[in-house]
Amino acid sequence: MKHLIREVFLEEGYVFATRAADIAREAGHTRPARLASNENPFPPSPKAVKAATDVLPNANRYPDETNREFIAALKKRHGDYRFVASVGMDGIIDTVIRTFITDGDPVAVATPTYSYYGLAVRAQGGATVSVPRKEDFSVDPASFCRDAAGTKLAFLCTPNNPTGTTETTETVAQICENYEGILFLDCAYIEFDGTDYRPLMKKFDNLIIGRTMSKAYSLAGLRVGYAFVPAWYEPFYNRAATPFTLNMVSQAAGAAALRDTVHVKTIVSVVQEWRQRFIDECPFPVVPGGANFVMVDVAPRTAEDVVTELAQKGVIVRSCASFPGLPDHYIRVSIGEPWENEAFITAIGEIYQP
């Protein structure tokens, strides 16, 4: 029956990096340092855990389809903006694409970047137009607008996965002003950087800012994503979304996590301290970035070699070779628990040959 499947799904989907974990296991590391998937190594806020547990007995009922408690917590945290919520930011990305893109529509993507945009666009019948970043991985607004001209939708990730590069608010404002389509600004890692794009929502009606509770808020397992959307767009988004978006556990945990501002602040400052130590102590050059990971240039070595050697030493990191548009000498290293970070600094020091 396979011939009935649409061609687009016969290609390989999202690539999870599991090879390094296999190498570490074969080398006898039962508890390797896991620095390949940008998760938060710290558990969620205890208040979020309690809120999640408290609602479980009500799970016979459908959740609140308006996500009322979660949206109220977002407004308290960010101010009076319009929000939509979904099953991770990936769910938001899917629904946004569904509202704009149909067969053959081109979608601009600032590359190299997160691979799911391309997969989701193709699943909807669209085609991606790669908008290359500059040599330092930042985005030039004028060339972005030139390359993206004629597209209805564009994706720009800041801080960018996997490079870590953060765009200024001026760059984003210039794009919003000169691009005729909708700009989806993916801010999955923004809490670790602090650049504030939110005020741009008041100025532009072609900007959507995607956020997630998977990274700074330690709720990856509960799949909580949300977005700042223009008021005119909200009803169309809701028509394209599934009837129930967040489940009740995710809604409760997400709201409680947003209210626990101390917890997230502590995590962010620990991550920022470690990011600086990675920059200072990694013997290879680290690309300047604002996320909870760093991208390291391991030239003249290849990413593949370094990932393998680190795995043999019990440290799992991600090769960036699978990111279209990146040469094969970059690795991405997430900031993990202190012992994991120490293990990386030691291991990369052993690998480096001046």
Ligand X SMILES: *Cc1c(COP(=O)(O)O)cnc(C)c1O
Q: Are strands 330-334 and 83-87 parallel, antiparallel or unpaired?
A: unpaired
Q: Give me the least distance between CB of 68 and ligand X, in Å please.
A: 20
CB of 185 or CB of 347, closer to ligand X: 185
Q: Give me the least distance between CB of 185 and ligand X, in Å please.
A: 11
CB of 198 or CB of 301, closer to ligand X: 198
Q: Give me the least distance between CB of 6 and ligand X, in Å please.
A: 23
Q: Alpha-carbon distance 210 to 282, whole Å?
A: 31
Q: How many residues does the chain have?
A: 354
Residue nearest to ligand X (CB): 88
Query: For residue 242, what are the contacts with CB-CB under 8 A and spacing of at least 6?
Result: none
DSSP state of 49: H
CB of 14 or CB of 57, closer to ligand X: 14
Q: Give me the least distance between CB of 305 and ligand X, in Å please.
A: 25
Q: What are phi and psi of 7, to 5 degrees?
A: -55, -40
Nearest in space to 145 (alpha carbons), one of 177, 119, 97, 120: 177
Q: Footprint of ligand X on this chain (CB under 6 A)?
A: 38, 88-90, 114, 157, 161, 186, 188, 212, 214, 220, 225
* Strand arrangement, sheet containing 293-297: 293-297, 330-334, 318-319
CB of 151 or CB of 218, closer to ligand X: 218
Q: Give me the least distance between CB of 220 and ligand X, in Å please.
A: 6
CB of 167 or CB of 314, closer to ligand X: 167
Q: Alpha-carbon distance 179 to 143, whole Å?
A: 11
CB of 23 or CB of 89, closer to ligand X: 89
CB-side neighbour CA atoms (13 Å) of 278: 29
Q: Give me the least distance between CB of 41 and ligand X, in Å please.
A: 15
Q: Alpha-carbon distance 33 to 310, whole Å?
A: 10
Nearest in space to 190 (alpha carbons), one of 262, 92, 290, 110: 290
- Which uninterrupted H or E stretch holds 132? strand 127-132
Task: Give whole-number Cα distances, 68 to 188, 189, 229, 300, in Å.
Answer: 22, 25, 16, 53
Q: Give me the least distance between CB of 323 and ligand X, in Å please.
A: 11
CB of 23 or CB of 182, closer to ligand X: 182
CB of 127 or CB of 220, closer to ligand X: 220
Q: Give me the least distance between CB of 276 and ligand X, in Å please.
A: 21
Q: Please say whether the dihedral angle defined by the alpha carbons of residues 272, 276, 281 and 282, taken in this order, is positive or negative.
A: positive
Q: What are phi and psi of 171, to 5 degrees?
A: -60, -45
Query: For residue 346, what are the contacts with CB-CB under 8 A and spacing of at least 6?
Result: none
